[in-house]
Amino acid sequence: MFRRVLSLVACCVALSGCGQPEPDYWSQPPAGDAELRALLERARAIDVCALLGAGELAEAGFGETPVPVWFDGCGTISDDPAVGVIWQVTTANGPLEPQGDAVATTIDGAPAVVRETAPEPGGPRRCETTVQLGAVLELDLDLTSRDAENCAPATRLAAAAAARWRAEPRRASTPFANTDPCAATAALGVRPSAVRLWECGFEYRGQRFLLTLGEVGEQQLGAERFEIDGHPVHCEEHEPGAFVNPARVPMGPPLPATVFDDETGPRRAVLSLSPIQFDGPAEVVTEVLRAAVPLAAG
- The pLDDT tens digits for 114-139 are 999 988 888 899 999 999 999 999 99
CA pair distance 114, 103, nearest whole angstrom: 5
Question: What rounded mean pLDDT belongs to the chain?
Answer: 86
Looking at 116, 135, 165, the residue that finishes a domain is 165
- Split at pLDDT 50, 70, 90, the class of 47 is very high
Asked whether the predicted pLDDT for residue 21 surpasses 80, the reply is: no
Give the CA angle between residues 187, 193, 197 to the nearest 5°: 85
Residue 228 lies in a domain: yes
CA pair distance 102, 112, nearest whole angstrom: 10
Looking at 135, 165, 195, the residue that finishes a domain is 165
Looking at 138, 165, 192, the residue that finishes a domain is 165
Asked whether the predicted pLDDT for residue 17 surpasses 80, the reply is: no
What does the pLDDT read at residue 23? 66
The predicted model scores a pTM of 0.84
Residue 9 lies in a domain: no
Q: Is there a single domain that holds both residue 114 and residue 158?
A: yes
Residue 13 lies in a domain: no
- Split at pLDDT 50, 70, 90, the class of 171 is confident
Residue range 66-122, pLDDT digits in tens: 888 877 889 988 888 788 999 999 999 888 889 889 999 999 999 999 999 988 888
Give the CA angle between residues 93, 264, 45 to the nearest 5°: 45
CA pair distance 72, 137, nearest whole angstrom: 11
In angstroms, the Cα distances linking 18 to 2, 36, 211 are 19, 29, 45
* Total tally of structural domains belonging to the chain: 2
Q: Is there a single domain that holds both residue 159 and residue 225?
A: no
Q: Is there a single domain that holds both residue 156 and residue 207?
A: no
Residue 247 lies in a domain: yes
Q: Is there a single domain that holds both residue 271 and residue 221?
A: yes
Host H or E run for residue 254: none
Residues 54-76 as b or e (16 or more Cβ within 10 Å = b): eebbeebbbebebbbbebbbbbb
Q: Is there a single domain that holds both residue 219 and residue 259?
A: yes
More reliable by pLDDT, 255 or 187: 187
CA pair distance 192, 208, nearest whole angstrom: 10
Q: Is there a single domain that holds both residue 220 and residue 131?
A: no
Q: Check: CB of residue 47 under 8 Å from CB of residue 170.
A: yes
The CATH number linked to 227 is 3.40.1000
Give the CA angle between residues 252, 208, 192 to the nearest 5°: 75
Q: Is there a single domain that holds both residue 293 and residue 244?
A: yes
CA pair distance 43, 26, nearest whole angstrom: 9
Residue range 224-261, pLDDT digits in tens: 989 998 999 998 766 554 446 899 999 888 888 777 67
Residue 36 lies in a domain: no
Domain with 157, as residue range(s), is 46-165
